Amino acid sequence: MSQEPQKSSIFKVIGASSLGTLIEWYDFYIFGSLATIIGAQLFPADAGASALINTLAIFAAGFIVRPFGALVFGRLGDLIGRKYTFLLTLVLMGGSTFLIGLIPSYSSIGYAAPILVLILRLVQGLALGGEYGGAATYVAEHAPSNKRGFFTSWIQTTATGGLFLSLGIIVLTKNIMGADDFADWGWRIPFLLSILLVGVSIYIRMKMHESPMFTKLKKEGNISKNPLKESFSHKANFKMVLLALFGATMGQGVIWYTGQFYAQSFIENTCKVDFNESRYILLWGIAFATPFFVIFGSWSDKIGRKWIMLTGMLLGIVFYRPIYQVFLDDTDVSHVSTEQVLKSEPPVIERVPAGAATDVLYTTSTRITLKSGMSYTKVQTATKYENGSPDTLITTYKDKVLATPVFWKFVALIFFQILLVTMVYGPIAAFLVELFPTKIRYTSMSLPYHVGNGVFGGLVPFIATLIASFSGSTPLSGLWYPIGIATLSFIIGAVYLSNKKPDHGEAE
């Protein structure tokens, strides 16, 4: 038989699976990309920093329930098939995302707003918990054994691709509408647009055929009667589930979310880089690094999955703190001298109404451009305390636009972090698929993936931001969470993971 039809078929499988998975990641990540703006909509105007932390907590809730989605939809996938299960997850994800775009703000319905959004985020998390395992299993079961890493790595690109798409649409929408309208109501547009993307993907997925391996099992009557019991009550299989979680997906998860989500949050919220500027940095880094998912996935077919993934973890452990120190140092303008200033625009003075305990006399905002090409807004807030305490003058710096050389330095540092993501994430689908037999594969691989990636990884932005907010913490304190988890995973993986494919006695 000619190989050409087979090649054509596998690329159709990859295309159909990847498009739907990319859209699900897009839906899931819009929320995180807009956390600061959404926080201002969901909570009272005087909530301050707690609005961001609470919004990140709602964002994290979607990750926490992903393992439950993995169990529910993994079981369905092993009972009724891969195709219809991840068709259902796509519908749930798309509907939830669309509805988030319609939720009224706090000013209209009070705390019902964040509660409704939380419920929809939980539905999103459940849906994503079932999507990834289905797509990865579906592609892997169409792929030849010696190219499984290469073919499944295309599914791996969809997570970063979904983030890239979400950032691109957000920046485009904001630039068309303007910052004020976007912050007021335009942030809803990326959520509402997703329904069109989901519709296209559902149409394509309806035309897909079931996985050949699952079809074979079904014809032979060998489908698992109780995938949950077989996955987790059998000692040998449960051991592999735990090994996959603690030796691979846990470390992979924190590398993924540090290099992409926490990096963006840190640059925007800690370094106070301009909204668009922070996203342009991430977009360029993603664009340059994404091809390496396929490179490392393909390479893992030749040399094995283990050491590629563990090397990515080790490099993150070693280089995260130096990288984020560079982010801080290169955006620090607190010691700028007058000789470094190219121009200073006339200050804008705004008087603020008196509060119950304090009387804010005024805020003075001055846009400053340096000779290096960097610009930023210097904000000075003078406060008079009615209880007799000494007056205060607080100076902050925000909306920083980097000089061109520094911008590209930041792009390079983001690229390096995402390169580590491609090392740990590119081979992981093939690694997980090969650990478990076909009849319980969807269930068995989904749980460790979504606990490691969704819970340990997904909580990085929230936990790291929370740690850094504690009294006595430094801006880099939050990095101890991903560094600690990655270190533990690296040690377990180095000692216990095998670099050889398990033999389940299956025909390839």
Segment 266-301, tens digit of pLDDT: 999 899 999 899 999 999 999 999 999 999 999 999
Q: Which two tokens stand for residue 354?
A: 């008196």
> So what's the pLDDT on residue 300?
93
Predicted TM-score (pTM) of this structure: 0.82
Classified as helix, coil or strand, 401 is: strand
Does 372 score more than 50 pLDDT?
yes
Least Cα distance to 425 among 149, 177, 89, 60 occurs for 149
Does 326 score more than 60 pLDDT?
yes
- At residue 5, φ and ψ (nearest 5 deg) are -60, -35
Task: Work out the average pLDDT over 18-27.
Answer: 75
Task: Work out the average pLDDT over 46-70.
Answer: 79
Does 329 score more than 80 pLDDT?
yes
Task: Work out the average pLDDT over 37-54.
Answer: 79
400: left (phi over 0), alpha (psi -120 to 50) or beta: beta
Among the ranges given (47-51, 139-143, 447-451), the one the predictor scored with the smallest mean pLDDT: 47-51
Under the banding of pLDDT at 50, 70 and 90, the label for residue 124 is confident
Summarize pLDDT for 339-368 with one digit per residue, the tens.
999 999 998 888 766 555 556 677 889 999
> So what's the pLDDT on residue 504?
53
Q: Which residue has the higher pLDDT, 251 or 502?
A: 251
Classified as helix, coil or strand, 482 is: helix
Q: Which two tokens stand for residue 144?
A: 């030849």
HEC letters along 333-389: CCCCCHHHEEEECCCEEECCCCCCCEEEEEEEEEEEEECCCCEEEEEEEEEEECCCC
> So what's the pLDDT on residue 3?
43
> So what's the pLDDT on residue 220?
63
Least Cα distance to 100 among 90, 113, 109, 87 occurs for 113
Burial of 1 per CB tally in 10 Å (0-12, 13-18, 19+)? exposed
In whole angstroms, what is the distance from residue 332 CA to residue 336 CA? 9
Share of the chain above pLDDT 70, in %: 86
Does 369 score more than 50 pLDDT?
yes
Does 7 score more than 60 pLDDT?
no
Does 48 score more than 70 pLDDT?
no
Q: Which residue has the higher pLDDT, 97 or 326?
A: 326
> So what's the pLDDT on residue 502?
58
> So what's the pLDDT on residue 503?
56
Looking only at the bridges linking them, the beta strands covering 341-344 and 392-401 are: unpaired
| The residue to which tokens 């600061």 are assigned | 36
Q: Which two tokens stand for residue 131?
A: 């999507």
**Which run of H or of E encompasses 439?**
none
148-177 and 112-140 helices, crossing angle to 10°: 150
Under the banding of pLDDT at 50, 70 and 90, the label for residue 483 is very high
Summarize pLDDT for 396-418 with one digit per residue, the tens.
999 999 999 999 999 999 999 99
Task: Work out the average pLDDT over 57-82.
Answer: 77
Q: Are 215 and 87 in contact (CB under 8 A)?
A: no
> So what's the pLDDT on residue 173?
92
Average pLDDT in the chain: 84
Burial of 394 per CB tally in 10 Å (0-12, 13-18, 19+)? exposed
Q: Are 26 and 162 in contact (CB under 8 A)?
A: yes
Q: Which residue has the higher pLDDT, 325 or 196?
A: 325
Under the banding of pLDDT at 50, 70 and 90, the label for residue 5 is very low
Summarize pLDDT for 149-195 with one digit per residue, the tens.
898 888 888 888 888 888 889 889 999 999 889 988 899 999 998 88
In whole angstroms, what is the distance from residue 370 CA to residue 313 CA? 38
Classified as helix, coil or strand, 467 is: helix
Adjacent-strand bridge partners of 398: 377
Under the banding of pLDDT at 50, 70 and 90, the label for residue 226 is low
In whole angstroms, what is the distance from residue 273 CA to residue 408 CA? 14
> So what's the pLDDT on residue 352?
67
